[in-house]
Amino acid sequence: MNTTEAQPPRSGHALGLICILIGALLAVAVGAIWGQTMWLAAGGPERAVEELEKTARQKERFAEDAQRAGNRKEADRLRAQVPLIEKEIERNEALRREAARRPLGFARGAFELIRFCGDVFLRMLLMIVVPLVLTSMVCGITSLGDMGRMGKVGLWTLAYYLITGAVAVVLGIAMVEIIRPGAGLDDTFAYVSEELLNRRETSVVGTILEVVVGRPDDPAGGLIPKNIVAAAGESNIMATILFSLLFGGALAASGAKGKPAVDFFQAANEAIMKVVRLILFFAPAGIFGLIVTRIVVVGGARGVLDEAHLLGWLVLTVALGLFIHTIVLCLLLWIFGRRNPWRYFAAMARALLTALSTSSSSATLPMTIECAEEAGVSQRSAGFVLPLGATINMDGTALYEAVAAIFIAQAAGVPLGPAALVVIFLTATVAAIGAPGIPEAGLVTLLIVLTAVGLPTAGIGTILAIDWFLDRQRTAVNVFGDAVGAAVIDRWLKK
Ligand code: ASP
């Protein structure tokens, strides 16, 4: 097969990747060895007690609701969980007393410093993402030439996104039906955040409309905000993309008159990519900081293991599904993009590690564009396909939405017939498109799926504890899906 090979990584890039890998591995080691001490030093037991107290109160409330609805069995089940939660509160109180006795000043200082590194990296990425989306999309669109061609590329891109998203959902449904991770699950420590509780009455249509116009209390607005400058100021990537599409299209249609503006955007895009390359230097320390912080927040290695143990089958189902989908993406890349999947995967490694540490496709976008261009994807394809993909192409999220919804049904003992599975297939595909590329966004749009099939939205509480972990994995697959899309569309454009 005549393949378009990724350019061999230049020695500087290989070195960059090695540094990032060392940063990530070091983070896991530091988190495992020192995580619990830092968790104690950073007030972990206090936060755990607060959370557990809220959980116990919520159980009492849910039990009363169940009693009122005439479901005594459920009310008794929920009440029986309260003493177990109280026991856990006592354990954490003891840890709090122990922490007060130990000299933990150094660990606290070290944790603050490590968190600072992660924070700075994330801020740098977010700082650059809005201008990058604007310039790269305008450049990508204007270099496509006429409107007819632009429309065709747009349609191909959307078709690619829809098909791969649908494949991911089918895979998710198959995996969760085969493994059945939700059967016999213990939901004693499940807690539904107030935000989700307040939103759980939203209808499917209501949620979709919300994606378009935004929530009334959200200054960022939705896909179509009242004020694009305010929306961009709030890092509303979806609105920035839509505006860039319209603006770029209009510039392309303006012919010679639009040329000075096109030149300006090309120069600005060049400069912004230089800033991205500068930010890349900070990636090893940033990724180290983000990973250690997350491990510490969940309670060190012990906290991670406890959560993984409780929801191990769910983690396994999602991980296996995502792995198989990655293989599917590699096949697509090989067949339609005519590229060596292994090389392309290696070329995208820095972006994938950034996705794993930030849990955000949007924050990873600068890296994704940089890596894809380095791998030989043309600027016009990368500039057009990748920003669009970062918000609407979410294969990992689509797979996860299906797995999570069926998992919640299994845990609640609700049987799902073929009709319900079709509804899950359709809504999970839409929910993934609607989810913005930010951490744990998939959890909110999961409400669309649950409401559509009439599943208990409070079931989200069961997966809330582990979502931070699954979010990283699905974000990495989202980013890889975008990158494969860019390579496939690029080849099609070149043809
Ligand atoms: N965090 C994911 C992303 O940015 C979205 C999700 O929550 O599934 O791609």
Q: Are 465 and 140 in contact (CB under 8 A)?
A: no
- C-alpha span between 240 and 224 (Å, rounded): 9
Q: Retrieve residue 128's tokens.
A: 């650059």
Instruction: Classify 454 as helix, strand or coil.
Output: coil
Average pLDDT rounded to a whole number, residues 215-235 = 85
Shortest-distance Cα residue to atom 1 of ligand 1: 439
CA 442 – ligand 1 centroid, Å: 6
CA 70 – ligand 1 centroid, Å: 38
Q: Are 239 and 133 in contact (CB under 8 A)?
A: no
- C-alpha span between 38 and 29 (Å, rounded): 13
CA 446 – ligand 1 centroid, Å: 12
Residue 44's identity, in one-letter code, is G
Which residue among 364, 400, 438, 477 has the greatest number of ligand 1 atoms within 8 angstroms of its CB, and so is best to mutate? 438
Q: Retrieve residue 172's tokens.
A: 């998710």
- C-alpha span between 262 and 202 (Å, rounded): 43
The 8-class DSSP code of residue 6 comes to P
Please give the residue that has the higher pLDDT: either 166 or 443.
Answer: 166
Longest dimension (CA), the chain: 74
CA 399 – ligand 1 centroid, Å: 12
Q: Are 291 and 24 in contact (CB under 8 A)?
A: yes
- Residues ≥6 apart with Cβ < 8 Å to 58: 191, 192
Nearest atom, ligand 1, residue 474 CA = 8
CA 386 – ligand 1 centroid, Å: 15
Which residue among 397, 403, 449, 470 has the greatest number of ligand 1 atoms within 8 angstroms of its CB, and so is best to mutate? 397
Q: Are 371 and 280 in contact (CB under 8 A)?
A: no
Average pLDDT rounded to a whole number, residues 73-84 = 91
> Is the model's pLDDT at 447 over the cut of 50?
yes
pLDDT tens profile 475-485: 999 999 999 99
Q: CA dihedral in degrees (199, 202, 206, 209; nearest 10)?
A: 20
Per-residue confidence (pLDDT) for residue 2, from 0 to 100: 43
The 8-class DSSP code of residue 8 comes to P
CA 362 – ligand 1 centroid, Å: 9
Nearest atom, ligand 1, residue 437 CA = 4
pLDDT tens profile 368-427: 999 999 999 998 889 889 998 998 899 999 999 999 999 999 988 888 888 889 999 999
How much is the mean pLDDT over the chain? 88
pLDDT tens profile 198-224: 665 566 677 777 778 887 777 778 888
Q: Which CATH number fits domain 11-42+104-494: 1.10.3860.10, 3.40.640.10, 1.10.357.140, 2.40.30.210?
A: 1.10.3860.10
Which residue among 471, 473, 477 has the greatest number of ligand 1 atoms within 8 angstroms of its CB, and so is best to mutate? 471
CA 321 – ligand 1 centroid, Å: 16
- Residues ≥6 apart with Cβ < 8 Å to 328: 164, 167, 171
CA 60 – ligand 1 centroid, Å: 32
Q: What angle (nearest 5°) sits at the alpha carbon of residue 141, between those of residues 329 and 435? A: 50
Least confident of 6-10, 225-229, 360-364, 391-395: 6-10
First-last CA distance in the chain: 16
Instruction: Classify 432 as helix, strand or coil.
Output: helix
- C-alpha span between 249 and 471 (Å, rounded): 34
Nearest atom, ligand 1, residue 394 CA = 9
The 8-class DSSP code of residue 435 comes to S
Q: Are 124 and 285 in contact (CB under 8 A)?
A: no
- C-alpha span between 350 and 126 (Å, rounded): 17
Shortest-distance Cα residue to atom 6 of ligand 1: 442
Q: Which residues line ligand 1 (CB under 6 A)?
A: 359-361, 394, 397, 435, 437-442, 471, 474-475, 478
Percentage of the chain beyond pLDDT 90 is 57
Per-residue confidence (pLDDT) for residue 3, from 0 to 100: 45
CA 111 – ligand 1 centroid, Å: 26
What is the Cα 5 distance to its own chain's centre? 29
Query: How is 359-387 classified by DSSP, letter by letter?
Result: --HHHHHHHHHHHHHHTT--HHHHHHHHH
Query: How is 91-146 classified by DSSP, letter by letter?
Result: HHHHHHHHHHHS--HHHHHHHHHHHHHHHHHHHHHHHHHHHHHHHHHHHHHHTT-S
Which residue among 290, 358, 393, 478 has the greatest number of ligand 1 atoms within 8 angstroms of its CB, and so is best to mutate? 478
Per-residue confidence (pLDDT) for residue 431, from 0 to 100: 87
pLDDT tens profile 34-59: 999 999 999 999 999 999 999 999 99
Q: Within 13 Å and on the Cβ side, how many CA atoms surround 471?
A: 23
> Is the model's pLDDT at 192 over the cut of 90?
no
Percentage of the chain beyond pLDDT 70 is 95
Question: What are the boundaries of each domain within the chain?
Answer: 11-42+104-494
Per-residue confidence (pLDDT) for residue 4, from 0 to 100: 47
CA 64 – ligand 1 centroid, Å: 35
Global pTM value: 0.85
Q: CA dihedral in degrees (223, 226, 232, 234; nearest 10)?
A: -90
